[in-house]
Amino acid sequence: MAKKNENDTMDKLVSLCKRRGYIFQSSEIYGGLTSCWDYGPLGAELKRNLKNYWWDAMTNRRDDIEGLDAAILMHPEVWHTSGHVAEFNDPMVDCRTCKARFRADQLDQVRCPNKPSKSPVENNCDLTEVKQFNLMFKTFMGPVEDSSSTIYLRPETAQGIYVNFLNVKNSSRQKIPFGIAQIGKAFRNEITPGNFIFRTREFEQMEMQFFVHPSEDEKWFEYWREQRWAWYRSLGLNMDKLRWHEHGPDELAHYAKAAYDIEYEYPFGWQELEGVHNRTDFDLGRHQEATGKDMGYKDERFEEKFVPYIIETSAGCDRTLLTLLCDAYDEVEIKGEKRVFLRLSPKVAPIKAAVFPLVKKDGMPEFAEKVYQSLKKQFKVFYDVSGAVGRRYARMDEAGTPYCITVDGQTLEDETMTLRDRDTMEQTRMKAPEIVEFLEQKCR
């Protein structure tokens, strides 16, 4: 259960995100829509950088993974075949007194609306029997609204990959082992969304499905666990706050041979960030059975045709973004003043550098403006002339900008500027070409 100061951290983060333009409540001027969030100017930039960083690691830097962008709306039969219509349920209970609805397996993580200091169990709430609640959003396709036109908003991006396995294999001429990567929106009608963007009803996933020979599944499972762990390390996260959680027999999906979650220690506790799963030949096998399309694979290296096993890496984009924000949030007291720093990695930070003239005279703004215009062609940079330079630094520290470049009196003599590092606060004098080289090295 979240302690008071843990809630404080989340409250502070939510308020920083609003103040600095990272994340806003959806439809806020109408009173907000529960569990939906909008990414503001800096949030949209951070999210784009994060997705590019994942996409780059998963596709551009590899020869054995292809990208895909499948539609959100799919043939409804897909969700019958995958088991989602029958089984994508969460256990739910209602409170007879306050009429609130809770996930039966997470009662210790929620509060009773009538007594917010207690969970429904601690408050001895009058709960109903457990019912199963299907998490898929339904809608209708076409002008007639009846059961024959019912379709679903996809609850995961993975199925778009499975149903395109043959298309991608045939058009790319990849040979097993190979993977298909996709980033896209998914929708789940969660019973108890919450913790800011941690659990929402509309979210984005970054999923990769790797197709392997059944005899090599364990090797590739270990390989992808290592790769995904290394990816989080490369994002500069505090690795003491990450851990593996192995699914025990009671948690393991019936088709999965093995499953591990990467968990992060959020201010509200350890929770899943990404899942790495050995899904066996379940998915392709089911689609083969339902459609009659041959999902079997054969090339000269194998004696017999086989339905590939799938190793899946499934990460939430919004949840990774929340992880980055929680990990980066820092408060420091400087000369009696509490200052907030968002220590995001330069690789994903929305603004890579801010350019300031020290004062608004002596040709400094003109020089700084030129530097800004030239850097802008390669990096997301920000120009600021307003207020004391200390305040401008503070604003950038809070917005997560890793570097500030200041044009001062000496610049006009030798063309060097100070480059200030957000985290060490050290200032180094550099000329424009050195700054470009420096930013290229740190931010790419």
Beta carbon nearer to ligand ATP, 319 or 347: 319
Least distance in Å: CB of 71 to ligand ATP?
19
String marking each residue 120-159 x if it binds ligand ATP according to CB under 6 A: ------------------------------------x---
Beta carbon nearer to ligand ATP, 268 or 341: 268
Distance, C-alpha 53 to centroid of its chain: 11
Least distance in Å: CB of 382 to ligand ATP?
30
The answer to whether 274 contacts ligand ATP (rule: CB under 6 A) is yes
The answer to whether 272 contacts ligand ATP (rule: CB under 6 A) is yes
132 three-state secondary structure = strand
CA distance 76 to 139: 11
Task: Compute how many residues bind ligand ATP; rule: CB under 6 A.
Answer: 16
The answer to whether 188 contacts ligand ATP (rule: CB under 6 A) is yes
Among 200, 280, 313, 401, binds ligand ATP (CB under 6 A): 200
Least distance in Å: CB of 160 to ligand ATP?
14
Beta carbon nearer to ligand ATP, 70 or 417: 70
The answer to whether 59 contacts ligand ATP (rule: CB under 6 A) is no
Stretch that binds ligand ATP, among 52-60, 114-122, 164-172, 273-281 (CB under 6 A): 273-281
The answer to whether 205 contacts ligand ATP (rule: CB under 6 A) is yes
Q: Around Cβ 422, how many Cβ atoms within 10 Å?
A: 23
String marking each residue 301-320 x if it binds ligand ATP according to CB under 6 A: -------------xxx-xx-
The answer to whether 199 contacts ligand ATP (rule: CB under 6 A) is yes
Least distance in Å: CB of 277 to ligand ATP?
7
Residue 336 near residue 385, CB atoms below 8 Å: no
The answer to whether 275 contacts ligand ATP (rule: CB under 6 A) is yes
CA distance 119 to 106: 10
Residue 272 burial by CB count (10 A; 0-12/13-18/19+): exposed, middle or buried? middle
Beta carbon nearer to ligand ATP, 59 or 323: 323
In sequence order, what DSSP letters do the residues of 200-244 get, joined into one string? Answer: -SEEEEEEEEEEE-GGGHHHHHHHHHHHHHHHHHHTT--GGGEEE
CA distance 67 to 174: 12
At 106, list the tokens. Answer: 């997470």
Least distance in Å: CB of 387 to ligand ATP?
38
Beta carbon nearer to ligand ATP, 229 or 383: 229
Q: What is the DSSP letter of 379?
A: S
Q: Is 116 left (phi over 0), alpha (psi -120 to 50) or beta?
A: alpha
Residue 383 near residue 369, CB atoms below 8 Å: yes
The answer to whether 184 contacts ligand ATP (rule: CB under 6 A) is no
Among 95, 242, 273, 324, binds ligand ATP (CB under 6 A): 273
Which amino acid does the sequence have at 373? Q
User: Footprint of ligand ATP on this chain (CB under 6 A)?
Assistant: 156, 188, 190, 199-200, 203, 205, 272-275, 314-316, 318-319
